[in-house]
Amino acid sequence: MSFLGIDLGTGSLKAAIVDENGREQAVASVAYALETPHAGWAETSVQTWWRALCEAMARLPADARLGVQAIGFSGQMHGVVLIDAEGEAVRPAMLWPDTRALALLDQWREPQPNPVAPGMAGPLLCWIVRHEPQAARKTRWALQPKDWLRVALGGAVLTDPSDACATALADPAGAWDDALLQRLGIPREWFAPLSPSYAAGGALSAKAAQALGLRAGIVLATGAADTPCAALGSGLARDGDALLTTGTGGQIVVLAEREPAAVKGLHRYRAASDHWYRMAAMQNVGIALERVRGWLSYEWADAYRDAFGDATGAAVNAPTGLSFLPYLTGERTPWLNPAARGGWLGLALDHTRGTMMRAAFEGVAFSLRAGLDAIRASGASVTTLKLAGGGSVDARWRQLLADALNVELHAVDCPNAAPRGAAILGGLASGHWHAGDLAALAPGATRVAGPQCDAALAERYARFLDLYGRVETWFDDTARR
């Protein structure tokens, strides 16, 4: 008996099979590119996602696929997929890095239960209604990415509280805000009914089963957003448990038994279980490092070597006098500034590619520290973080994160936390597991780094914050032109 978890990410799709004890048996990943047909747009064709799913499933052992009893879903948050009455996509999916709806954010009057960003479903749908009326007329459902995938596999049209509450169109518990939808001119009938993340949400169709090498009729869980799935897969179970995920973006999640108080700059969302979580969300982690690597014409191994100098991560290429702001797509926590942008300041003739790459690594680490500082300022004491995400494997990068964040890092002994969490949701939906089993399913975690009290790094962090404060209004002026 086994369970399949599918994580529909921004830059890749992962499929993982876990056994009846929650142990990973097989995993496959397929990458794809983000499409930017216009400046500020971020899209992906659903056909790209479907091809990636079929390719990932084909890479899994056939016998393992035939043993799957249920499927759970994890998906990138905030974006939106428009489909017609026949289930066909009306246009490419619009995703969270998208900034085309920046000018519409004033439609969300303060105070809001959560920060509102232009790449959330609410602003994006406002933009569709105003700028693509033909697409709006064809639309029957406006789905979150993982919900589109479940429907494509034969499941019911549903969503869960963890995704709904992050659309900027629902209350903190995830219930659709009918009055807000009416004021914005977004049709209420576009929005799917709510279902718990761990509830059954239909069954796998014969057509999809044939394409994926699975048995028809197996249970499809409703699923959850990727961050709460990663938290579930990483074993967050108690009030105050904390997780850092580093992928295209970065998230710091602190679990809460009850609804947290609203704090400016922080998100408080529903978890994949019946918990809540407080989250600092930073948009520019892997997406910024990948772009810098490309600009500097590096292969990843060479980028790490030149940035860190040796296997210990000693700061031989410490960017003295050089700062890097990583905000290539704006930023959420703590600045709430979609107009923010990035770049190096302080370049000198003696700086090298390696120095510039090291500054980029530090800039990303400092942006994560700014988010963690916001959580700490809200009253949460965070001295230890579980660590998950494909962008946090190199030991030198982990040490820099521990130093910059001033925390101990414990790597979760499960490199694919989000698809594992999705698989667990499949097991819950099929009745194999129950809520009381979750703590026992937590994977092990290994301490991989601790803070070394680097005074020079602390000074560079202070310089980073000072630099952002000095240029913040300039970004705003640039965006209005």
Lowest mean per-residue pLDDT among 49-58, 106-115, 120-129, 349-358: 106-115
Which H or E element spans position 424? helix 417-429
Give residue-wise pLDDT tens across range 269-295: 999 988 999 899 999 999 999 999 999
The answer to whether residue 310 scores a pLDDT higher than 80 is no
CATH class of 2-227: alpha beta
What tokens were used for 463? 């310089």
Distances (CA, A) of 421 to 35, 98, 187, 193, 469: 28, 26, 32, 22, 38
Q: Where does residue 205 rank: exposed (0-12), middle (13-18), buried (19+ CB within 10 A)? A: middle
pLDDT, the chain, mean: 93
Nearest Cα residue to 414 out of 445, 447, 448, 450? 445
pLDDT digits (tens, 9 = 90+) for 197-217: 999 999 999 999 999 999 999
Handedness of CA 51, 128, 116, 176 (dihedral sign): negative
pLDDT of 93-135, one tens digit each?
999 989 999 999 999 998 888 889 899 999 999 999 999 999 9
pLDDT in tens, 414-464: 888 899 999 999 999 999 999 888 888 989 889 999 999 899 999 999 999
For the entire predicted model, the pTM comes to 0.82
Model confidence band, residue 138 (pLDDT cutoffs 50, 70, 90): very high
CA–chain centroid gap for 459, Å, is 30
Q: Is the predicted pLDDT of residue 480 greater than 50, yes or no?
A: no
SS3 state at 55:
helix
Residue 242 has pLDDT above 50, yes or no: yes
CB 250 within 8 A of CB 244: yes
CA distances from 372 to 260, 335, 401 (A): 16, 12, 12
Q: Which of 150, 222, 141 is nearest to 189 (CA)?
A: 141
Fold match between 2-227 and 235-413+451-481?
Answer: yes
**Confidence at residue 457, expressed as pLDDT on a 0 to 100 scale:** 95
The 3-state secondary structure of 321-388, one letter per residue: CCEEECCECEECCCCCECCCCCEEECCCCCCCHHHHHHHHHHHHHHHHHHHHHHHHHCCCCCCEEEEE
Q: What is the mean pLDDT of residues 33-62?
A: 96
Q: Write out 93-156 in H/E/C secondary structure.
A: EECCCCCCCHHHHHHCCCCCCCCCCCCCHHHHHHHHHHHCHHHHHHCCEEECHHHHHHHHCCEC
Listed range (349-358, 393-402, 438-447) with the worst mean pLDDT: 438-447
Higher pLDDT, 12 or 378: 12
Q: Is 440 exposed, middle or buried (0-12, 13-18, 19+ CB in 10 A)?
A: exposed
Least confident of 75-79, 87-91, 246-250, 444-448: 246-250
Q: What is the DSSP string of 455-474?
A: HHHHHHHHHHHHHHHHHHHH
The two structure tokens encoding residue 360: 């980029």
- What pLDDT sits at residue 474? 87
What per-residue confidence (pLDDT) applies to 481? 42
Record the tokens describing residue 313, joined without a space: 């991560």
Length of the chain, please? 481
Q: Which of 255, 222, 272, 288 is nearest to 386 (CA)?
A: 255
Structural tokens at position 153 = 């596999």
b/e sequence 454-480, b meaning 16+ C-beta within 10 Å:
beebeebbebbeebbeebeeebeeebe
Paired with 307 in beta bridges are none
The pLDDT assigned to 392 comes to 75
> Domain-by-domain residue ranges, the chain?
2-227, 235-413+451-481
One of 3.30.420.40, 3.40.50.2300, 2.60.40.10, 3.10.105.10 is the CATH number of 235-413+451-481, namely: 3.30.420.40
> Measuring CA to CA, which residue among 212, 83, 94, 80 is closest to residue 146?
80
Q: How confident is the model at residue 177 (pLDDT cuts 50, 70, 90)?
A: very high
> At 302, which helix (H) or strand (E)?
helix 300-308
pLDDT higher than threshold 60 for residue 170: yes
